[in-house]
Amino acid sequence: MTESVTEWEAQKQENKHEEEEQNRKWEESCKRFDEMHQEIMAQAKKHDRSIGALGARWGMHSEKAFRDALAAILTKSFGVEVVNVNEFDDEGEVFFGQPEQIELDIIVKNGLLIICELKSSVDKPAMYIFERKVRFYEKRHRRKANRIIMVSPMISERARRVGEKLGIEMYLDSMYVPASIDNEEMPK
């Protein structure tokens, strides 16, 4: 019986040794996995930043190209005056006490004043800021805009609800542009 107990103890010791070895290998594998995961996540963040920067540059260039094309079409084909207003808000009316440069696109024809914003994407704060820019312009020039228009392929749902509440016309896609426009609304 002592021989069986001794064998059992030896087997138990061997099993314990194998279990410790397996646990050591498991911990080592987990450590290597965590290190690889961290490296992959660092690369993913680097790629996200690069793609974001590329998207931002594309957005800015697209906005400018679209703005320039629209201005040329309206000016040359319809005799509309298109003005890019760039004024300094020294009172900080738009940016909550912070003096800042304010830029707006203005379309004028026969007394009609349309204020536009063209952006690659619009979130809720951007919609509120646009409305504050419009009010800044109206106050400074003592003139009410006939139409306030936001043009963007990406307007978040929350921004869209804010725009509706503020009375801002929004054009997200060519599907939303009416097929015919009343003569009153169309610049002559």
Q: Is the pLDDT score of 32 beyond 60?
A: yes
Question: Three-state SS for 115?
Answer: strand
Structure tokens at 165: 């509440």
Per residue in 20-57, is it b (16+ CB within 10 Å) or e — as a string? eeeeeeeeeeeeeeeeeeeeeeeeeeeeeeeeeeeeee
Beta strand 112-118 with 147-151: parallel, antiparallel or unpaired? parallel
Q: Would the pLDDT of 131 be above 70?
A: yes
pTM for the structure as a whole? 0.61
- pLDDT score recorded for residue 24: 87
HSE (CB half, 13 Å, CA atoms) of 7? Answer: 4
Across the chain, mean pLDDT equals 81
- Per-residue pLDDT tens over the stretch 83-118: 888 999 999 999 988 999 998 888 888 888 999 988
